[in-house]
Structure 1
């Protein structure tokens, strides 16, 4: 981009729950943090899309929630990206408050800042083509327009919203005037829109001067302004994160940026993009992006397809094998604690399964068997009435909180690496094949002083084994009390 172009700041929204990709994506660890397509996560791919000198962009601004703040920084560090800021939402309030708080944050630091707002869970394989589209959009931004990106449709899709242009997109890909937003259509309407050539899919990606975005909110969603402004003004710094003030942020209406602003604004322009895009909003989209073979079959993990057609078979655990025989138009996804089987054309109905499981108070509705923490992760291997067996993996240099329990004792057996263990006033190093006992009520801490992950097996015994039976006496991650903190 030219040198006199205003500084461009990517704003990556990463607080969604992705229920339509259950059972892989859940509230405790949604789809943007999983490697759905390829080895990197969708969040990492989004950050890398805007990184590098050729992109001409500043370090990304991340908007996420407290549970994912360490996941965000860990995944960025793994791909060599240092964020410009991580803004922590106290609670989800949809996309409008998230976009506005990023605009306020940037405008306070650079009155001419341009923001590129993008979800963290989309697939855009051709990075260069997308950056070229951003460059084309900057001309409209310089004229005070808010730019949205429209995807050239290749099928009569009923799962996306549409953008209707005043005229068909120009061959050079220049920004066009937006006539209106169109909700997800029925099949007949989608076919008509595809044939007209004047409709594009709504990608939910926006480019604008931060000041112009704030002005759009002032005109069309003034009720969002005061609580979000106060939440940023009263925010507190916390270990490199910026926590928005909970009381103020809770007063902001929970509304999408489309409904709050974009569908009302008269200064929108649309840049067409036809180099490949998916919001990965359902397993049918994952099947399509994964690249099915000649029989229309896509497999992932330890999965085998025998005489199958137009199907997705995905297994997420090395200790299991998923086998499909004679399947046609089927999605089969196997997790250690849940299995989904559905016709591919019912992919959008997976959210119904989540609602049913929540109504029946099944933990599989929202939580994965593997629980990620800032120091690593753990998973339950066996759970009984008065005992639980876990595998715990602690990252190099990481430490659990100094804690105690009211209702359980713990036995730790190190199986990989060396643990630094504190039990009351005793501190010792515990190596592979060695164990230590933590009595009920003892103040204890587990640390990994090594350069490789440390793995141990924990056996808990007691009358209550819930994660909320944790009293934190000290914590380098400043999580406070509670199961996750």
Structure 2
């Protein structure tokens, strides 16, 4: 019997968890509830070689190094990292993964997972995985339906039809996110489950349905995989073919139209962490119902979520609030109205003066480490750089700025116009305008240094890369 091929969808941007989740580092790659990121937790759930083959991860090019670094950190082998040249929703992504999986296993069964869900990997969960795999091998396209415990308006629902055996049922209907009255009716009536967005799919049957019901998606994904090329540890899907696919979810393209859809009702702990109220529900809370993360204190307050990355937050005399504080932005709002954050993030992105708050953090991550912006003024900028052991930045030069580097921790190997210097703590070096230079960390601990930039233009696009081990231009 073929093992299950995990397919992890890791390209979403998670705007409803602003200001922590931003397009440069969305919610699947950040620590929301303590410990590993949601993506790493997803990798860990599919790490059992007795049940799973190495995972196929689908993401966009911007996140490729985040995926690779977090997989390496988690110690989980990844079979392939597929890079989408453009976003085309879940139908095209899953179809591309199915074509890739079939190239090495004609009986492949795909377990499709979102990378940003919080799931308790309990024995009950894995029993559901095995039951869904059995139903998939029997020819069904299986979706996991979460047994509801409240009239939730933030999820879509599935109406269960006749029993198929193996615990699964035919899908009678999909229901879009309901209002509260409709959600209460479905909960009282029974026979409805939440649509989790997780699937178990026999790859051949899925693609056969895709070819029949969504031929443009089938052809676009097939040709994108056929024309794909290797780029370091990644597989880049062919852009023209993939871009020709309709931008549509697998629910709309396939599941709502096929007669092979089945739903497996399950009751393990699950949350899509789609908004801050879901994060609050997933955390430990004190006797007053408050969940606190980071430097914060509450007084005379109840049923609230306080998250801070930097400043010490004090909340007094409030109920049902979310306070999310990062280095450069603070959100304060009703926790019970947390679904509004996504709309607010769109408004911020539409304004030139606030767009950056939805795109990047003050700390930006790169495959070699990253940097934090400390201070910026007219014709100068101060940053803290951190470089992982054994990593090096690109060989580069700038047309509009010079730089001063001061080492505060570790050892730096600095190349300036072909001359190599070794710097230790409290030593510095000047990089004149236009020089060719490179920074590397030859040591065993993380390198930290302060960079002072001066010049007429200080944007990140004033980097002329001459040589780069990560394939960046």
TM-score range, shorter chain: over 0.9
User: Does the alignment pair 1:227 with 2:223?
Assistant: no
Shift of 1:219: 1.4
The equivalent of 2:199 in structure 1 is: 206
Secondary structure of the residue that 1:208 maps to in structure 2? strand
How do 1:223-372 and structure 2 match up within 5 A? Answer: 223-317=216-310, 320-361=311-352, 362=354, 363-372=356-365
Shift of 1:173: 7.5
Contact kept, 8 Å, 2:143 with 2:200, in 1: the verdict is yes
Shift of 1:446: 0.3
Q: Deviations over 1:382-410 (max 9, x none)?
A: 01110000000001110100000010000
How do 1:31-50 and structure 2 match up within 5 A? Answer: 31-50=27-46
Contact kept, 8 Å, 2:134 with 2:166, in 1: the verdict is no
CA distance in 2, matches of 1:479, 1:225: 31
The equivalent of 2:454 in structure 1 is: 461
CA distance in 1, matches of 2:328, 2:156: 34
Contact kept, 8 Å, 1:116 with 1:206, in 2: the verdict is yes
Shift of 1:293: 2.1
The equivalent of 2:107 in structure 1 is: 112
The equivalent of 1:483 in structure 2 is: none
Give 2:147's match in structure 1, choosing from 122, 143, 152: 152
Contact kept, 8 Å, 1:100 with 1:214, in 2: the verdict is yes
CA distance in 2, matches of 1:92, 1:138: 28
CA distance in 2, matches of 1:248, 1:127: 40
Shift of 1:432: 0.6
CA distance in 2, matches of 1:369, 1:386: 19
CA distance in 2, matches of 1:387, 1:247: 42
CA distance in 2, matches of 1:389, 1:232: 44
Secondary structure of the residue that 1:379 maps to in structure 2? strand
TM score, norm. by length of structure 1:
0.95
Secondary structure of the residue that 1:290 maps to in structure 2? coil
Contact kept, 8 Å, 1:419 with 1:430, in 2: the verdict is yes
The equivalent of 2:124 in structure 1 is: 129
What is the root-mean-square deviation of aligned Cα atoms in Å? Answer: 1.3
CA distance in 2, matches of 1:239, 1:127: 36
Give 2:20's match in structure 1, choosing from 24, 27, 50: 24
Shift of 1:142: 2.0
User: Does the alignment pair 1:417 with 2:437?
Assistant: no
How do 1:332-481 and structure 2 match up within 5 A? Answer: 332-361=323-352, 362=354, 363-480=356-473
Shift of 1:126: 3.4
CA distance in 2, matches of 1:356, 1:416: 40
Q: Deviations over 1:208-251 (max 9, x none)?
A: 11111111211111111222212111111011110111222211
Contact kept, 8 Å, 1:173 with 1:273, in 2: the verdict is no
Contact kept, 8 Å, 2:45 with 2:121, in 1: the verdict is no
Q: Deviations over 1:89-135 (max 9, x none)?
A: 11211111110100000011110011100000000123322111011
Shift of 1:260: 1.0
136-145 or 324-333: bigger deviation? 136-145
CA distance in 2, matches of 1:123, 1:66: 24
Shift of 1:271: 1.0
CA distance in 2, matches of 1:142, 1:473: 51
User: Does the alignment pair 1:9 with 2:5?
Assistant: yes
TM score, norm. by length of structure 2:
0.98
User: Does the alignment pair 1:89 with 2:80?
Assistant: no
User: Does the alignment pair 1:143 with 2:138?
Assistant: yes
Runs of 5+ consecutive residues of structure 1 not aligned to the other structure: 481-485
CA distance in 1, matches of 2:369, 2:208: 42
Contact kept, 8 Å, 1:49 with 1:127, in 2: the verdict is no
Secondary structure of the residue that 2:307 maps to in structure 1? strand
Number of equivalenced pairs:
471
CA distance in 1, matches of 2:133, 2:240: 36
Q: Deviations over 1:356-378 (max 9, x none)?
A: 11121211022111111110010
